[in-house]
Structure 1
Amino acid sequence: MAMLISAHRLLLGAGCLLCLALLRHITPRPALTWSRPYENDQARPNADHDGTALPTPTPLSLTCELPEGLDDVLVVLKTGATEIYEKLPIHLATTFACLPDYLVYSDVAQQFGAVPVHDALALVSEELRQRHDDLAYYRTLQQHVLSGGDAAELQGDKSWSLDKWKFLPMISDAYRRFDARKRWFVFIEADTYLSAHNLRLWLKQLDASVPVYAGAQVMIGDTEFAHGGSGFVLSVTAAKAFAEVYRKKQTHWEYKMASECCGDKLMAEVLLEATPPVTLHRSFPIIQGETLTSLDWTPTHWCTPAVSWHHADPAGIDKLWRFERGWRHDTGAEWPILFAEYFAAFIEPRISAANGTMRGWDNLSNDWVYEEGNIVHPSYTSATACESFCRQHAQCLQWAWSPGVCRGGKAVRLGRALASRPALGSADGRVARVGVQGKDGAVSGWMLDRFAAWRSQQEPCSTAGLWNTHVW
């Protein structure tokens, strides 16, 4: 009997040990998160294959734990049928993953998985849609898709020409669908990254009961307007005023659009005809038209929160979204992410890892330019001579050399590899073209000691006037 009891005890003990082992195996381990990049942090995140910093993974259960404050916000994305499969999926996985409500407008109506895509141009008067020369490409696009063709096959400049026509009907229709159920209407494009965390905190500083039209200011002629690609915001009061003015004289505004360059410009003119007129709330640099790689890291940006970035490609949107989720989890819901924090997370690690010098790279220096054939100057004879030139000027923080050209910069920019696009966004329109010889020999460098000294003068950032925007 004693031996039988001992055997039972042995079996019971072995079973308990097995259960403990299984529990230890399946119990979730504490998730790794990215600590906030303060000045005295020693640890830096790992780098992706292209050298840009990546946060450690954020637990999936935490990615949608956004605090109250977004239920009264509608985000509207404008895209085109020729680019939708390239650019919309990343927003469904990131930007829209945690938002209560959003709308997508294009130039072809379709069902994108579970998401309805609305044709903004279908809201234009039938006479224009059927007969106006500006919309001939729209008619071609519709017929091509209806006959089973892929819209991407028609990609080109003509698809861009349709873009301006989407603005006015899109804004009017978004308000019609949600009207007073939303206090804020936020409009972005397919290559815009929107920080939901910073957006929520920014909107708390604004009053939706008054007409608010906010965005990064641009001036064409006498009209100041919010740049569409950078994103813009309308309070429900402003959206209502816009819709009323537009609907009263829709045909007038449509024919005026035919002679305008830009839909975002005409949008401002519609708002100016409201009673009382709705003028732009200048919101640069909070609303940002640059990318992480093309931005000049100066006092204008450093201690300011960033709500949006333009020219962000899918890889860049993914990195920014993952960083934001991890950062908010570690830091909390009530402190915005400043430009300084983005620099510490994405830009500084890349430059430091290269020890301040990158080959085959253009850091977009443009404050001093010495080019062989235009001027006689020793700086363009070699990369060493170009670096020496920069060292001789106290304000020079970076330099870039290619055969026969030396450039210096007073602000730090990351720039891009000359052989490819940057993974944090495309700045193709802002990057000077270089020849094959220039690509082969190009070198960029940064004065790390000087920037460290400059940075120490900017920090710590004050909370006073945190949401102030730059007024020209």
Structure 2
Amino acid sequence: MRWPRPGRIRRLVSVLALVLIVWAILCWTFLPYDSPVVLWVHFAVARLHSLFRPPVSAKDWLSIEPRFPVDFDLDVAFIAKTGYGTHGRLLAQLDALDLVVDGETAGNTIVIADFATELQHNGRRVVVHDVLAPLARDKTLVKEKGYERITKYNDMTEAIQAGRNEEAKSATKSFGWELDALKFIPGMDLAYQRLPDKKWYIILDDDTYLVQGSLHAMLDRLDPTIPAYLGNAVGDFKGRFAHGGSAVIISGAAMSLLFDQNRELLPAAYISSLSETWGDKLVATTFQKIGVYLDERFNHFFNGERPVITRITADRLCSPIISFHGLARPEQMAEVGSQFRHVRGLVTWGHLWKLYGRPDISEYITNPIRPNHDHVGRLDEASMDIEHVESAEQCLAQCHGHYKTCLAWTWDGRDKMCHISPWIIIGEVSPGKFSGVNAGRLHHLVGQCTNPRAK
């Protein structure tokens, strides 16, 4: 058997590459922006990029010149999304993030919801805008699939106006997520009309916190005149979207492209919101129609957990972190706000360990076992569960035996289970458990970070 000559192989590879490039160009030229073929190509390119380019570290990011400085008070619009059942969190979030809402248009923040009210905060009038009311008045939606959501909204509104507050709160527990799906597009539209000409627009759930030093360092290095849609990517290639709880960042150029130049798309988006499960996905599919896709280069900047249960993985340890989510109680939001209030500059995922007072990694070399603690946290398919482990020392040995895939371990003496994970969490007191980290590997990984601070 004769093998093809190397020259022929190179020519064949070159021809195949050229065919793929031409095919991609034709797809981009003649197919709609939201064609499944175009979306698949875009998804495949993002996957290839992630395979060959590691996540951006804080050192790499800060080496980029900050050519697009932002002032949060002047250049950024914060869209705080709340609801009747959760609006008790709102004032704690405004305090924690130093967001300013002043009447109808002043300040840097607009509050959108499924009901209307006014609150007082730091001597200012906080207007909560009901962005569903215009949809309820739109008679063209009556015959559309999913109109029951508007009926549920109308019933809740009637209960609120009649003073049946407990009934309204109970209702939101059963269908609040459906009303939430309706809020995104009209809320973004209202924010763009009330707070125009901003460089950036950021959508926040009322249990989301932003690490402002990291956010500042991020936006200072991104061009807001380019249509951009950023966030924590979830979903398949046909509907790849930014997880709303982790914060969604949209450039002013992208907002203008949709709400100035393509407003004819809004009625279809409102119809889709009647049946869409996730409103944050609707943001993505609406932007796809005008050729704005989720930029997945910054996935690892976004986080969807509370600080103490945030999973710190090897590929994110040195990267900036800009968000936390799941701060459902006002005191949780206040605690995180207090923790970060005096932190200046960019914060990495790895910085969380020291910010929350955990021992230096080197201490785990000489004292590797922490009683009544858990550095693994919630288990899933990426963690490993080992049965019939008789001691914490044996669980530690299991972690060392899986050196490249174990960053943390936890042994539960009650059921003799050993759990090891490719991440570490700060963790909380966990009676009956013993835990530790892969100190040798973590020490090596931390050595690759220079712990810079943005200026």
Give the TM-score normalised by the residue count of structure 2: 0.70
The alignment partner of 1:301 has SS state of coil
Considering only CA atoms, is the larger Rg found in Structure 1 or Structure 2?
1
Evaluate the alpha carbon distance shift between residue 344 and residue 188 of structure 1 in structure 2; reply closer, same or farther with a 3 A threshold.
Answer: same
Matched, 1:259 2:258: no
* Distance in 2 of aligned mates of 1:267 and 1:363: 33
Evaluate the alpha carbon distance shift between residue 362 and residue 149 of structure 1 in structure 2; reply closer, same or farther with a 3 A threshold.
Answer: farther
Question: What's the CA shift for 1:229?
Answer: 1.2
The alignment partner of 1:108 has SS state of coil
Quick check: 2:375–2:425 contact (8 Å CA) kept in 1?
no
* Distance in 2 of aligned mates of 1:93 and 1:445: 35
Aligned residue number for residue 139 of structure 1: 154
The alignment partner of 1:175 has SS state of helix
More displaced 10-residue stretch of structure 1: 105-114 or 301-310? 301-310
Evaluate the alpha carbon distance shift between residue 456 and residue 269 of structure 1 in structure 2; reply closer, same or farther with a 3 A threshold.
Answer: closer
Question: What's the CA shift for 1:355?
Answer: 7.1
Give the TM-score normalised by the residue count of structure 1: 0.68
* Distance in 1 of aligned mates of 2:243 and 2:194: 24
* Distance in 2 of aligned mates of 1:414 and 1:340: 10
Evaluate the alpha carbon distance shift between residue 344 and residue 285 of structure 1 in structure 2; reply closer, same or farther with a 3 A threshold.
Answer: same
Matched, 1:94 2:99: no
* Distance in 1 of aligned mates of 2:442 and 2:270: 53
Question: What's the CA shift for 1:460?
Answer: 2.2
* Distance in 2 of aligned mates of 1:281 and 1:201: 17
Aligned residue number for residue 31 of structure 2: none
More displaced 10-residue stretch of structure 1: 130-139 or 68-77? 130-139
Matched, 1:298 2:313: yes
* Distance in 1 of aligned mates of 2:309 and 2:126: 33
Matched, 1:342 2:352: yes
Question: What's the CA shift for 1:254?
Answer: 2.0
* Distance in 2 of aligned mates of 1:448 and 1:222: 38
Question: What's the CA shift for 1:384?
Answer: 4.8
* Distance in 1 of aligned mates of 2:222 and 2:426: 33
Q: Deviations over 1:91-111 (max 9, x none)?
A: 122213468410111100001
* Distance in 1 of aligned mates of 2:219 and 2:324: 17
* Distance in 1 of aligned mates of 2:299 and 2:410: 28
Percent identity (aligned): 23
Aligned residue number for residue 406 of structure 1: 418
Equivalent runs, 1:299-318 vs 2, <5 Å: 299-313=314-328, 314-318=330-334
* Distance in 2 of aligned mates of 1:318 and 1:272: 37
| The one of 52, 69, 72 aligned to 2:75 | 72
Aligned residue number for residue 19 of structure 1: none
Quick check: 1:73–1:186 contact (8 Å CA) kept in 2?
yes
Quick check: 1:299–1:458 contact (8 Å CA) kept in 2?
no
More displaced 10-residue stretch of structure 1: 110-119 or 256-265? 256-265
Matched, 1:203 2:219: yes
* Distance in 2 of aligned mates of 1:407 and 1:70: 46
Question: What's the CA shift for 1:287?
Answer: 2.1
Quick check: 2:185–2:283 contact (8 Å CA) kept in 1?
yes
The alignment partner of 2:93 has SS state of helix
The alignment partner of 1:229 has SS state of helix
Quick check: 1:212–1:280 contact (8 Å CA) kept in 2?
yes
Structure 2, unmatched stretches of 5+, are: 1-68, 102-106
Quick check: 1:359–1:444 contact (8 Å CA) kept in 2?
yes
Aligned residue number for residue 292 of structure 2: 278
The alignment partner of 1:162 has SS state of helix
Q: Which amino acid aligns with 1:159?
A: G
Aligned residue number for residue 37 of structure 1: none
Aligned residue number for residue 121 of structure 1: 132
Quick check: 2:353–2:426 contact (8 Å CA) kept in 1?
no
Q: Which amino acid aligns with 1:137?
A: K
Aligned residue number for residue 447 of structure 2: 457
Aligned residue number for residue 23 of structure 1: none
Quick check: 1:195–1:321 contact (8 Å CA) kept in 2?
no
Quick check: 1:246–1:270 contact (8 Å CA) kept in 2?
no
Question: What's the CA shift for 1:252?
Answer: 2.2
Equivalent runs, 1:226-241 vs 2, <5 Å: 226-241=242-257
Question: What's the CA shift for 1:447?
Answer: 3.3
The alignment partner of 1:348 has SS state of coil
Quick check: 1:291–1:311 contact (8 Å CA) kept in 2?
yes
Q: Which amino acid aligns with 1:279?
A: Y
| The one of 191, 198, 201 aligned to 2:207 | 191
Quick check: 1:216–1:285 contact (8 Å CA) kept in 2?
yes
The alignment partner of 1:94 has SS state of helix
Question: What's the CA shift for 1:393?
Answer: 3.7
* Distance in 2 of aligned mates of 1:160 and 1:359: 36
Question: What's the CA shift for 1:178?
Answer: 1.9
Q: Deviations over 1:404-434 (max 9, x none)?
A: 532112322234456xxxxxxxxxxxxxxxx
The alignment partner of 1:285 has SS state of helix
Matched, 1:212 2:228: yes
Quick check: 2:209–2:325 contact (8 Å CA) kept in 1?
yes
Quick check: 1:362–1:442 contact (8 Å CA) kept in 2?
no
Q: Deviations over 1:295-332 (max 9, x none)?
A: 3323322222222122234344333323333222xxxx
Aligned residue number for residue 57 of structure 2: none
| The one of 447, 462, 465 aligned to 2:437 | 447
Question: What's the CA shift for 1:383?
Answer: 4.4
Structure 1, unmatched stretches of 5+, are: 1-65, 329-334, 372-376, 419-440, 467-472
